[in-house]
Each structure stands twice: as structure tokens, then as C-alpha cells.
Amino acid sequence: MTKTLRKRIVINGIVQGVGFRPHVYRLARQHHLSGFVRNGGEGVTIEVQGAVHDVAAFTEKLRAEPPPLSVVESIVEEQRPVGQSDGFHIINTDRSGQAHTFISPDVAVCDACLSELFDPDNRRYRYPFINCTNCGPRYTIVRHIPYDRPYTSMQNFELCPRCRAEYDNPADRRFHAQPNACPECGPHVWLCDAGGQRMETDDAIRACANLLSRGAVLAVRGLGGFHLVVDATDDRAVAKLRRRKKRPGKPFALMAPDTATVERYAFLSEEERRLLESPVRPIVLLRKKETDGLADNVAPGNKYLGFMLPYTPLHHLLLRDHGGVLVMTSANLSDEPIVTGNEEALERLAGIADYFLLHNREIVQRCDDSIAWVEAGQTRLGRRSRGYVPAPLNLGSASSPEMLAVGGMLKSTIALSRGGQVFLSQHIGDLDNERAYAFFKDSIEHLQRILQIEPSYVVCDKHPEYLSSKWARAQPLPCIEVQHHHAHMAAVMAEHGLNDNVLALILDGTGYGDDGTIWGGEVLAGNRRTYERRAWLRPIPLPGGETAIHEPWRIAAALVDGALGSLTSVKEMPFWKERKERDAENLRVMIRRGINTPLSSGCGRLFDGVSALLGLCSHIDYEAEAAIRLEMISDPTVTEGWGVEARPETYDGALDWAPMVRCLLQGIQQSRPTEELAARFHFSLAEMWTRVLCRTRDELGLNTVV
């Protein structure tokens, strides 16, 4: 007689909203097992009963071949008493207990749905919200755990009989696909003019494509917010968008229908192709080809283009109808979060967009596009947002308390930890904006709610004036303050699983130092808990304070004064052409007397000053513009710095940049090519830090650098 066994299996991780229950159902039926599967706060719970060899085959298959979108963090099995069991069932969600499961990130539309989208005989032909268990919105539409339709922004869209039949059929691709819908029962799109007046069209998306071809600026409501869209080959349309958005120079992101189109304008490796086509669909930075076609002002002065492929059905329809490349930039006013609501868009984007493509599926969580690039075959993230959030990072220290970390002031994100996992929020932005600060607080509340994490500590930057830090100190929790650059160091250590002492090279723009000054160019030695500042850049005067960061010609003058001891020669330099006679004397007095002239050892300020010295950027329109222009113009055929002449002396114990600046000034005087001087500066700076690291390694016996 065959022995019967019953097992309870609890699976934790990204296991809801990814087709796990229908996958389990099919496996159980294949192996002739009875029992049930259900979602719950702790993940997916399975009970199976049947012949011992069938249960073993089921569990082996389940471990070896989980659904492709799932991420299994743990599987716990226990034997249960054999009982009366008839068939295998998917039962209602258990809403009790603390949540230990995760919401899936949003997933690009799958090939099966795309095939239906463009099939004239399919009932979802050209339906811009087509999705299934294998694709579609997740994080951006969910309000609570568990991930069930009543807890999403689809709660008000009652399934029609045909969609309900798909939703209830375990053999169907749309079984328990929470956003499942069709033209009869789901969300829809419509087109409005700049005044919010609804326009009568047979097909709103086709109408948008025609408007784009005529040079219009569109605001398009997408997955995690609105995009501002223009034809990327139309110089006048791109210029109009720049003028209206008050964004004169920052590169725009692009969306192309496929990789073949991308390759017309940018070089594409196999790794970059895979990243572009992945379910995440980030913006990927690609080396630009010297070819005509795109508007010159898409990414002025930049050797790279940021391309992404369509990731929603709406985007696919728009790109297919338009037939070319579109600028697809986040729809927001300067420094504000991306716009998400229809009324908000009509109000905030008035005067920017000519037309609005709207829809009625609420965006619960705004989520900007992620930005990535490939370096040495590895994906690097510049912005971890849509497609990645809220998937956790595993740090391995399971005994850690639950904590909330609130980040810095610029490019803010927040993080929650539980056990050995850290959950990062999407990109929030710069908190000196009222709307961004409100979004910061909303993000904390939302992430705590969907993860059901109650932190025991809050962690913040040491800076006394950061809004995030002030918020943290006001909470009824123990507050741990961390130095800005020690946080950078610890983050890289955590990413690479390093626990022992290391050396850390910090090349940043700004960060509040332990001595109350601005840091950002130093070598630290230590670990995740403690550190020592072993070497640092000579502080650079910033005449005008914050103004100098936006007007780097001021920093250039301070570098000349620091290198030569006077500003006498500055009036003959190219970057000084627009300055008045008295400016030099005013700056000299400010620097000598320290009037509104804080000191910064931030390496970013050195890049800013050198960029201005070379006449590349006297005023910046976006963060790091001066440094980017310096990098972009560097001659790739130059492979060394200035050598011994540029080696730093010590200046009050700091690494003096003056020898490098003197070499640069000599090159300017000799009319050396700007491209050559930019490259030699980069190499000389790299050589300086390499020597410092080698010296510190010899002193401390530490061989690992982060």
C-alpha cells in the first residue's frame, strides 16, 4: 500500500502578484496531490497531501522551477497529520499576522500580451492596460499587503464576466492577475487640450502620435507618473520643451520602439541590449554615435544618450503609431516630484504641455524611471526606482533590529530594514522642495504600511540642517546620526559583503564633516561602525557660499588665488570675460576675510572650478553639469597627467591642489587644447589619489579599497 504524506510549505520572498499560486496549483495537479495554496502575510502557504514520492517530486520541482518573476527568499517545510482532503484548491487570502512577504516591482508588458495587443481579432486589441500574471503594474498600484485586487487602485473596476472567468480559471494566464481588465470593464484613456477640454477622437493614442509629428508637447500619464513627450527628431519641439520646462541643458531621456532603432543612434553591447530588454526596462546610458537624425539639443555636449524601451502597452501603442524616437522626460516642475494625478497635471503642467493624454487608473505610488549603465560587464544603477523597488537588498545579518534610515537632502531615498534585508524606496528627490518633502514623509508611511515594519531606531545624516535629519530627530525613537561619507563607505561595504577594515576613497560634492566643515575629498580607514579620516583635499574657498556652487566661475577665481597668491592674472583668462572690473577685488576681499566664504574639501568643487577655468561652465543649470562637461570634453587619446609637477604638496596637513591648478594655468597660457587639459587634469587627480591610497595601505596594512 502506498504511504500517504501531508506537508505544509511556507514560501517567503517576492511570491505574490507573480503567478505563484496558479504555478503551485498546476504542479500539484500534475503530481496528483490534494490540499490548498493561499496568500498571507507570511508569504505563500501550501499544504499538499499524497503519495510520498509525489510529494517529494512536487517539492523538488517547486524549488527548482519557481515562476520566472518570483524571488524566493526562504522555504520552510513541516510534516502535518494526514487528513481528509479532496482535490487541490486555491483558497482565500489569510489576512492575519505580520507581513513577511514582498510586493513585486512593476514589470514590463510581456510578449504574450503584446501579441494580443496588436492582434485585430483579439478582444484586447489596442487596449492600453492589457496585462497578465507575468507582467504589468504592481508596486505603483498597491495600497496594502497582501497583493489582492481590493487593496489596489483596481478596486473600483469590477470584472466583466469574461475577465472574471479568466481571473477564476487556474489554467488561464490571467488567473488571479489583480490588474486584469479589458475595454469593457477596465480603465480607459482620453485626450484633453491645454485647458482640460476633452477632445473627441476615434483613437486617443493615434491622435497623440499625429500631434507629436506636428511638433506638439504632450503630457502622458503612464505607470508611475506623467512624462513630457516630444518628437526627438524635431529640433524646434525639443527647444520648445526646454524653454517651457526651464531646462536649458540637462540631457533628456529617450524612448525607442526597439533595439534596432536604438542602434541607429548609439553603440549597443550584448549586456546593454539585455538590460534594455529586461523586464525592468530602465533608462540605459549608451555611447552616442556620430550620426544625424536626433535633434542636436536632446543631450547637448554629451557623449551619451539615455535610451529606454516601451514598458507599458500604452507606450508600445504610442511608439508604434509614431514610428520614431520620442523624448520621454519626467513631468515635473524644477526640483518637484513627478506629477501623478490628472487634475494635478492640468494645474502643474499648464504652460508646458499643449495636450494631455489621461487615464483613470490611480497611481498609488509615484515612481520615476530607473537609470542604469553597463561597466566592465556589470550593471550599475544611477537611480534605483521603477522596476527595482521595493525588492529588498540582502545584507545577511539576520539578527539586526528593524530600522528606518532617512538619507540625505539631495536625491533622497529612504530605507527600512528587517532581519538581513533592506527595502529601499523609489527616488524621492531633493528635499528643499515642499512637495518633495511631503513625498518623503508619504513614502515612509507607505513603505512601513505595506511591509508592516515598525522600526526600533531611526538613522539620519549628521548635518544639523538637513530636513530629513530634523524629521528623524523629532521622532519618538532613538536616533543614530551618521557622518555623510562614512555612510557612503558603509553602503559600499554592505553591497559587497565586507566586514573587516578597509580604505575608502570619497570623491563627493558635499557632506557635513565631524569638524563642522564641508567634506567630500578624503581617504577614510575603518569599518561599518568606526572610521578615521587619513587624508583630505585642501579646502577650497567658496566665495558667495551656495551661490558659488551655482556659479562655478567664483570657485575658478578661488583656485587661481590659491595657486598663485593673487587674482591679478585672472582678468586675462577666458572665463573672466563677462566679469566686471570690481568683481576680482570683491572676491579677493571675501576670500581673505572669510566673508560669506565657507571652505569645502569636496572634490566636486575642484571639478567645478577647473571646468569654469577652462571656459566650459561658468553657471550651472543642473547638478554636476560643470563636472559632466569637463568629462565629456576630455581627449580619450591622452593617457597621462602632468607628472611630478602636479604632485600635491601638503597644505596644513591636506593634499594641495595648487600644483595641478598651476599646470592647468600654464597650459591655458600656452594655448594647449582644452580637450588635452581636461584629460590631463583627470589623470593627475587619479594619480594623486592612487599615491595616497598606496601610502595609507603601507601605513595600515589594509589592501581592500571601496
Spatial CA neighbour of 337 closest among 372, 366, 371, 359: 366
Reduce the secondary structure of 172-194 to three states and give it as a string.
Answer: CCCCCCCCCCCCCCCCCEEEEEC
Spatial CA neighbour of 510 closest among 544, 485, 532: 485
- How far is Cα 83 from Cα 314, in angstroms, rounded to an integer? 49
337 vs 420, higher pLDDT: 337
- How far is Cα 588 from Cα 570, in angstroms, rounded to an integer? 11
pLDDT at 444 over 70: yes
Q: What is the mean pLDDT of residues 586-615?
A: 94
Spatial CA neighbour of 357 closest among 519, 174, 219, 200: 219
**Per-residue pLDDT tens over the stretch 114-169:** 999 999 999 999 999 999 999 999 999 999 877 889 999 999 999 999 999 999 99
pLDDT for 96: 59
N-term to C-term CA, the chain: 62
Would you call 471 helix, strand, or coil by DSSP? helix
**What are 204's three cell numbers?**
486617443
**Per-residue pLDDT tens over the stretch 529-578:** 999 999 999 999 999 999 999 999 999 999 999 999 888 788 778 788 77
Give the alpha-carbon dihedral of 272, 273, 276, 280, to 10 degrees. Answer: -90
In the chain, where the domains are located: 4-90, 103-382, 392-482, 540-693
Q: For residues 325 and 265, is the Cβ–Cβ distance under 8 A?
A: yes
Residues 6+ apart with CB under 8 A from 41: 94, 95, 96, 97, 98, 99, 100, 101, 145, 146, 452
**Per-residue pLDDT tens over the stretch 690-699:** 999 999 999 9
Q: What φ, ψ does residue 269 adopt, rounded to 5°?
A: -85, 170
- List 11's β-bridge partners, or say none: 44, 75
Q: What is the DSSP letter of 283?
A: E
- How far is Cα 381 from Cα 492, in angstroms, rounded to an integer? 13
Q: For residues 1 and 53, is the Cβ–Cβ distance under 8 A?
A: no
pLDDT at 99 over 60: no
Decide if domain 4-90 falls under CATH 3.50.50.60: no
pLDDT for 421: 87
pLDDT at 95 over 70: no
User: Which residue shows C-alpha cell 567630500?
Assistant: 520
Q: What is the mean pLDDT of residues 6-31?
A: 89
- How far is Cα 171 from Cα 30, in angstroms, rounded to an integer? 12
Q: For residues 352 and 250, is the Cβ–Cβ distance under 8 A?
A: no
Confidence of residue 385 (pLDDT cuts 50, 70, 90): very high
pLDDT for 97: 57
What is the CB neighbour count within 10 angstroms for residue 656? 18
pLDDT for 291: 84
Q: For residues 369 and 282, is the Cβ–Cβ distance under 8 A?
A: yes
pLDDT for 568: 79
Confidence of residue 278 (pLDDT cuts 50, 70, 90): very high
- How far is Cα 382 from Cα 421, in angstroms, rounded to an integer? 21
* Helix pair angle (553-564, 581-593), 10° resolution: 70
What is the CB neighbour count within 10 angstroms for residue 121? 6
Sheet holding 421-424, edge to edge: 393-394, 421-424, 415-418, 403-405, 457-461, 479-482
682 vs 103, higher pLDDT: 682
Q: What is the mean pLDDT of residues 680-701?
A: 95
Q: What percent of the chain has pLDDT over 70?
A: 98
Q: For residues 431 and 466, is the Cβ–Cβ distance under 8 A?
A: yes
- How far is Cα 34 from Cα 652, in angstroms, rounded to an integer? 77
pLDDT at 392 over 80: yes
pLDDT for 503: 98
* Helix pair angle (658-669, 674-700), 10° resolution: 160
Q: What is the mean pLDDT of residues 241-252?
A: 95
| Of the candidate ranges 97-106, 559-568, 590-599, the one whose mean pLDDT is the lowest | 97-106
The total number of residues shown for the chain amounts to 706
Q: For residues 417 and 400, is the Cβ–Cβ distance under 8 A?
A: yes
Q: For residues 99 and 451, is the Cβ–Cβ distance under 8 A?
A: yes
- How far is Cα 161 from Cα 290, in angstroms, rounded to an integer? 54
Q: Based on C-alpha coordinates, what's the Rg of the chain?
A: 28
User: Which residue shows C-alpha cell 526640483?
Assistant: 335
Would you call 47 helix, strand, or coil by DSSP? strand
Spatial CA neighbour of 518 closest among 601, 595, 410: 601
**What are 68's three cell numbers?**
520566472
Spatial CA neighbour of 313 closest among 411, 223, 247, 218: 223
Q: What φ, ψ does residue 339 adopt, rounded to 5°?
A: -75, 140
What is the CB neighbour count within 10 angstroms for residue 534? 18
Q: What is the mean pLDDT of the chain?
A: 93
Q: What is the mean pLDDT of residues 209-232?
A: 98
**What are 339's three cell numbers?**
506629477
Continuous segment of H or E residues that includes residue 557: helix 553-564
Would you call 117 helix, strand, or coil by DSSP? helix
Cα-to-chain-centroid distance, residue 323: 28
**Per-residue pLDDT tens over the stretch 179-208:** 999 999 999 999 999 999 999 999 999 999
pLDDT for 145: 78
- How far is Cα 684 from Cα 643, in angstroms, rounded to an integer? 7
Continuous segment of H or E residues that includes residue 203: none
pLDDT for 184: 98
Entry pTM: 0.92
Domain spanning 392-482, CATH class: alpha beta
What's the CATH number of domain 103-382, 3.40.250.10, 3.20.20.80, 3.90.870.30, 3.50.50.60? 3.90.870.30
Q: Which amino acid is at 458?
A: V
Please tell me the CATH code under which domain 540-693 is placed: 1.10.357.160
